[in-house]
A and B are shown apart, each in its own frame.
Chain A
């Protein structure tokens, strides 16, 4: 396989053709923050927290899906990247409860994001779905990373129980026709729970224990 040499944060990196910027950076110990990206899943490039600056490109690029090219010059921490990442995270924090997503809070601290900057707008708030014996869905904590939908589809389970409901600020992960889980194709593998990056999907036992102790 052909190899490609590029520069990331002033370091020379050589990786096989087809490698993404995010994976190439990891080979030299540079961790690019990401929310929707999961190494076992197809990256949907939705959260844009992994944006990096590629010299010669007009906009910031999602490192999780952008393949490396020869002689590419990438900067993962430039002022422009930090500003972009900060605004993305501030917008996210203004609408979603990130209380159980410590890694996202760390990302925010890293770029000095102010969670109150856009406060006062519409919050994404939903009642908790407690419709099956195994897990709950609390979409007030959902960052809409798409992982659960993908893991339920071709990335793992091929069950296709999940989809996208509503529009705009009200959009959320949903079942078809808003059926309760037992009435869908769901097989309760919980692989969605296993990849959820926040507290939006949680085992019922854990959720009940937390409520008892709080």
Chain B
């Protein structure tokens, strides 16, 4: 079929940031290809990128602004997607209701009674304006987003140790690796295109891969060594690797002397962290730990890649610090093919954080507590009224927002594009909080499990319907471009925010902070002027070069594919003593299995984009993965309906017997609202990073009391449901 036009853009799914060519005919995307000559994907895509953008044209897209007919009263807020409960409104009317509602909360309870979720799916420009509205108009730093729920552990650990939290090295270096460790990352399913380069490092370049993961991921099949630790015991294994590297004198003394501090204290702490000690805790044979330490320690260049398995833990910060310790003692950082590389989840989770969608920083991690930085932003935003001040104390994180509602501190909520009612841990707890809200504004492309509670729901344009930039996992700023018209009356998030901000300023009697942008390029220009690290990036350069890795302070600067060549942002890298211990909810007699949650290749997070897609046909339901030995003991087989319960709730789904997870561990994906994994998960958090533990909590498993026959596809045998199958034996 011949295209009317072919539009270059960036994939809306994961943090790889694949470049796509949207082939459009009659205002419809009918084919997605990838340019073979462009970083980071060089023509490669995964199933979501190539076939999963059909959600853009789905009939269920929100078409017009909606207002709840009966405004929900605090304590009695209920979810609804029934058309009868909503009234179609004009934009002017819906924005007025939104501005009046938020304005009333601010006037009655103060600015900190409002919290907002920025959006890791939206553009940098959308997110920049989102935090600008919260800070400059509402007057609070209560801005956060789902990065809190994914890489907060990594970010906190890396910030402590080296003062920077982004992925240190680029995707382009992956195919030339010599030795690398993949831990807590099911890379082939969560970053599929990156995984193809990592696999090629092994098959083409002869790289040695060490996988440290309780699950038998596909990457384990490419590994020289696979260390299968018990869930939650990462620190023990990594400490023991450090012990071996020290004992066998594989440390890089020059690097330690020139670039780090605190090594001598740290070394003392390793004395009793022997591989045998770690074997007792983790179940990983001591000799395997020795071999892994030697491979990593002896390599000229070696890199860490990690995902949620490291970060989403009550000791996520400790996990990240353990990795940092290893990189610092070997000097495997600051060079190509090395580094500390957290693989970022969302397409723009890096960018949302970079754009200031966090409670303690403006753009590019400039601290709100730093008076000089704050004055610079005040000068820009409050040019019409020099007496105004930006808030100077960090705001609430998303995990703290929920508790803030329950304690009465938070009364109003503004959610852009996120779906916390699928992604928060312990969903019943989150639901109890949402029910208490006095006012709730949401903007989104579909109804989801969260925005069904809103007072006002504003229809947003999808990625293919607007212009802007995303920043991928390796800090590459790339364009998205409008390829098709917005659905119905949907508008780009940045346009919605500008109109909402103007109304709020009028409502509150404030001078304007500046909301007249004609195009996202003008928003980026403002970001560039306020952010030294973005100084060399503008739309014209992105047009020419396709993408630029920040930091990039000036137009003659080439960008920074790998960080820390000369020094760390904090000066010297710091070693941190990390002791093994756990605050997680461990299995016991009542709840004898460990529950670990994660993703499958074919779905995205809360499922807002992938359930209304062809993707849903290939993996249409939640599956409970159980080890064959456990299944045999319980008399269960693949396809049996089971009830999975924790202290917080019960879900019902079908069983998939597979050796992917170790004995004693149950795995479920968190995409499926009808069997939402996060009903079961625990909301206790890492005290430093405020990230919840999605990988360890206690559950029990029983044959289902009742088969949910009303569920779509429940009458079809599991083996006939798309591609659901045991990947390990397949």
Contact = CB atoms under 8 A, between A and B. Distances in A.
Interface in B3-60: 25, 28, 30-34, 36, 42-47, 50-51, 54
A182 B724 CA distance: 8
A157 B723 CA distance: 17
B31 A205 contact: yes
Interface string B610-629: 00001101100000000000
A40 B36 contact: yes
Contact of A133 (B1, B45, B196, B617): B617
B27 to A, nearest CB: 13
Nearest to B42: A40
A190 B203 contact: no
B730 interface: yes
B50 A205 contact: no
A22 to B, nearest CB: 16
A134 B618 contact: yes
B51 A203 contact: yes
Which size class do A's interface residues fall under? Answer: 20 to 34
A158 B30 contact: no
A188 interface: yes
Contacts of A193: 50
A11 to B, nearest CB: 25
Contacts of B46: 187, 189
Contacts of B577: none
B43 A40 contact: yes
A79 interface: no
A134 B196 contact: no
Interface string A175-206: 00000001101111111011100000001111
B549 interface: no
B204 interface: yes
Given A40-B42, A206-B30, A182 B722 contact: yes
Q: In this complex, which of A132, A186, A204 has the most chain B Cβ atoms within 10 angstroms of its Cβ?
A: A132
Given A191-B45, A194-B33, A194-B50, A182 B204 contact: no
B200 A154 contact: yes
B50 A204 contact: no
Nearest to B196: A156
Contact of B614 (A133, A186, A195): A133
Contacts, number: 88
Given A40-B42, A40-B43, A203 B192 contact: no
A187 B82 CA distance: 36
B274 to A, nearest CB: 37
Contacts of A189: 44-47, 50, 192
B243 interface: no
A190 B203 CA distance: 21
A166 interface: no
A158 B601 CA distance: 15
B638 to A, nearest CB: 15
A189 B203 CA distance: 19
A206 B30 CA distance: 5
Contacts of B28: 209
Contacts of A195: 43
A191 B618 CA distance: 17
Nearest to A182: B723
Nearest to B192: A189
B199 interface: yes
B601 to A, nearest CB: 6
A181 to B, nearest CB: 8
A209 B50 contact: no
A206 B1 CA distance: 7
Nearest to B614: A133
Contact of B601 (A39, A187, A203): A187
Given A204-B614, A210-B1, A188 B47 contact: yes
A203 B22 CA distance: 13
A205 B30 contact: yes
A206 B25 CA distance: 10
A31 B45 CA distance: 28
Interface in A147-188: 154, 156-158, 182-183, 185-188
B196 A190 contact: no
Contacts of B50: 134, 189-191, 193-194, 203
Q: In this complex, which of A188, A209, A210 has the most chain B Cβ atoms within 10 angstroms of its Cβ?
A: A188
Q: In this complex, which of A40, A193, A203, A209 has the most chain B Cβ atoms within 10 angstroms of its Cβ?
A: A203
Interface of A: 39-40, 132-135, 154, 156-158, 182-183, 185-191, 193-195, 203-206, 209-210
19 contacts: A134-B50, A135-B51, A156-B44, A158-B196, A158-B199, A182-B618, A182-B723, A189-B44, A191-B50, A194-B43, A203-B32, A203-B50, A205-B30, A205-B51, A205-B54, A206-B31, A209-B1, A209-B25, A209-B30
For the complex of A and B, list the 6 residue pairs with the smallest distance between their C-beta atoms, beginning with the closest. A190-B50, A133-B617, A188-B47, A182-B723, A133-B614, A134-B51
Given A187-B192, A205-B31, 15 more contacts: A39-B36, A40-B36, A133-B722, A134-B47, A157-B196, A185-B730, A186-B723, A187-B601, A190-B50, A194-B33, A203-B50, A205-B30, A205-B51, A205-B614, A210-B1
